[in-house]
Structure 1
Amino acid sequence: MGGMGGMGGMNGGGSMPHSDNNKGNLGGGKTSDLTRKIQKTLKDLGVTSKDHPLKLWGVYLVFIVITYFVFSGGDFSVLLTVASATRSFAFLTLLISLFISSSSSLVSLKTLHLYLCVFAFRLLSIFRHEGYLPYDKTGDWFYHFVEFTALGFTAFTAYTVHVTFKSTYEPTHDSFGGGVGGLPSQFGELVILVPCALLAILIHPTLNSDWISDVSWTFSMYLESIAVLPQLYLFQKGKSNITMLTAHFVVALGLARVFDGIFWMRSFTELTSSNGGKFPGIVALISQLAHLVMICDFFWYYARALKEGGTEMVLPTSGSMV
Structure 2
Amino acid sequence: MRPQRTSIHAVTTWVRRQPPKVKAFLAVVSGMAALVLLRFIVHDHDNLFVAAEAVHSLGISVLIYKLMKERTCAGLSLKSQELTAIFLAVRLYCSFVMEYDIHTLLDFATFVTTLWVIYMIRFKLKASYMEEKDNFAIYYVVVPCAVLALLIHPSTSHHLLNRISWAFCVYLEAVSVLPQLRVMQNTKIVEPFTAHYVFALGVARFLSCAHWVLQVLDSRGHLLVALGYGLWPSMVLISEIVQTFILADFCYYYVKSVFGGQLVLRLPSGVV
The TM-score with structure 2 as length reference comes to 0.77
Per-residue displacement from partner, 1:162-194 (whole Å, max 9, x unpaired)?
011101111110001xxxxxxxxxxx2111111
Q: 1:206 to 1:78 in 2, by over 3 A?
A: farther
* Distance of 2:199 and 2:225 partners within structure 1: 30
One-letter identity of the residue aligned with 1:259: L
Per-residue displacement from partner, 1:228-286 (whole Å, max 9, x unpaired)?
00100111112x22222211111111111112112222344323345433x21111111
Gaps of 5+ in 1: 1-73, 134-138, 177-187
Moved more, 292-301 or 265-274: 265-274
| Match in the other structure for 1:249 | 197
Does 1:235 find its partner at 2:184? yes
Question: Is the 8 Å Cα contact of residues 152 and 232 (structure 2) preserved in structure 1?
Answer: yes
Does 1:155 find its partner at 2:108? no
* Distance of 1:296 and 1:117 partners within structure 2: 24
Count of residue correspondences: 225
**Pick from 203, 215, 228: which aligns with 2:152?**
203
One-letter identity of the residue aligned with 1:295: L
One-letter identity of the residue aligned with 1:129: M
Q: Shift in Å at residue 148 of structure 1? A: 0.4
| Match in the other structure for 2:29 | none
Give the SS at the match of 2:271.
coil
Question: Is the 8 Å Cα contact of residues 45 and 215 (structure 2) preserved in structure 1?
Answer: no
Question: Is the 8 Å Cα contact of residues 121 and 216 (structure 1) preserved in structure 2?
Answer: yes
RMSD: 1.8
Does 1:271 find its partner at 2:224? yes
Give the SS at the match of 1:204.
coil
* Distance of 1:171 and 1:306 partners within structure 2: 28
One-letter identity of the residue aligned with 2:166: W
One-letter identity of the residue aligned with 1:81: V
* Distance of 2:171 and 2:186 partners within structure 1: 25
| Match in the other structure for 1:314 | 266
**Pick from 56, 61, 66: which aligns with 1:92?**
61
Does 1:259 find its partner at 2:207? yes
Instruction: Give the 5 Å matches for 1:1-322.
Output: 75-130=44-99, 139=101, 142-176=102-136, 188-207=137-156, 209-238=158-187, 240-268=188-216, 269-277=222-230, 279-316=231-268, 318-321=269-272
* Distance of 2:75 and 2:177 partners within structure 1: 13
One-letter identity of the residue aligned with 1:262: A
Question: Is the 8 Å Cα contact of residues 205 and 271 (structure 1) preserved in structure 2?
Answer: no
* Distance of 2:154 and 2:115 partners within structure 1: 28
| Match in the other structure for 2:40 | none
Higher helix proportion: 2
Q: 1:259 to 1:194 in 2, by over 3 A?
A: same
Question: Is the 8 Å Cα contact of residues 272 and 280 (structure 1) preserved in structure 2?
Answer: no
* Distance of 2:185 and 2:156 partners within structure 1: 39
Q: 1:258 to 1:198 in 2, by over 3 A?
A: same
Question: Is the 8 Å Cα contact of residues 111 and 229 (structure 1) preserved in structure 2?
Answer: yes
Gaps of 5+ in 2: 1-42, 217-221
Give the SS at the match of 1:107.
coil
Q: 1:210 to 1:80 in 2, by over 3 A?
A: farther
* Distance of 1:298 and 1:160 partners within structure 2: 26
The TM-score with structure 1 as length reference comes to 0.66
Question: Is the 8 Å Cα contact of residues 225 and 287 (structure 1) preserved in structure 2?
Answer: yes
Q: Percent identity between the aligned chains?
A: 31
